[in-house]
Amino acid sequence: MSSFPDHSPFISPFTGDGPRVGVALSHGFTGSPHGVRAWATALAEQGYAVRIPLLPGHGTSWQELARTRWQAWHAAYDEAYRELAAECDYVFTAGLSMGGALALRVAATRPVAGTILVNPGLVIDDPRAPLAGILKFVLKSTPAIANDILKPGIDEGAYARTPVAAAHELNRMFKDTVRLLPRITAPVRVFRSTVDHVVSDTSISALRRGLTHASLELTMLENSYHVATLDHDADKIFRGSAAFIRDVLQASNERTSPRAPEGQLP
């Protein structure tokens, strides 16, 4: 893989048959579209319109991220969704890690068709997290947990430092997103690594508790760490995402198809 990660946004048009389908896809905290570009490419090859915005404060420097509020991340991702919604019949939200939280936020506030998540974050287990709002004034950054990838020689292109101020914003966004989970009604598909050194099962438990009005399907990844979209199980994610979209569209079509009168064949 190139030693120069591509941080640029990803945009692909709809090229398929049948209903126009779009996927708004989000990268993770301190990362960039590079970490999910192969996922987006695989979806685009299915004919879907795909958008990956470069979230504010990302793809530049950790110092810029330290000056960015979580609402700016949400606004950028929500704009990508709205662009797709203006031209597509169905729009799915999807994301890796923090991007999964953004996908869930939009699913709670917009009429999405479904949501696809890879190792979504909703809870920060670090005991320092509640103090980040104070620590940011005395501790500017900490070493990042980046490149949590089992496959050797892969670089996700994330920052080498994590700004404490941004971690504080992340914690605030996670808490607000958990509050919104009961509003989600569209089906959710989660790809979860059995070994993840960044996001613990606490986030998955929070997701299970919060999805009181939506179905949840969980697929375990046995051969990948946190950044599974660049790891050994990437193809499993790509194939499973396309299958989930097809299943949701089929179920929607069955619900809206007129029934034949009783006693007559359709």
DSSP code at position 258: P
Pull the structure tokens for residue 211.
């999805």
Check 12, 26, 32, 97 and give the catalytic one.
97
Distance, CA of 252 to CA of 256 (rounded, Å): 6
Check 74, 226, 233, 241 and give the catalytic one.
226
- Whether 97 is catalytic is yes
Q: How many other CB atoms are found less than 10 A from the CB of residue 178?
A: 18
Pull the structure tokens for residue 75.
């606004």
- By CB atoms closer than 10 A (0-12, 13-18, 19+), residue 197 is exposed
The string over 204-242, giving b where at least 16 C-beta atoms fall within 10 Å of a residue's C-beta and e elsewhere, is bebbeebbeebebeeeebeebbbbbbbbbbbebbbebbb
- Whether 215 is catalytic is no
Check 78, 148, 196, 231 and give the catalytic one.
196
Residues classed as catalytic = 97, 196, 226
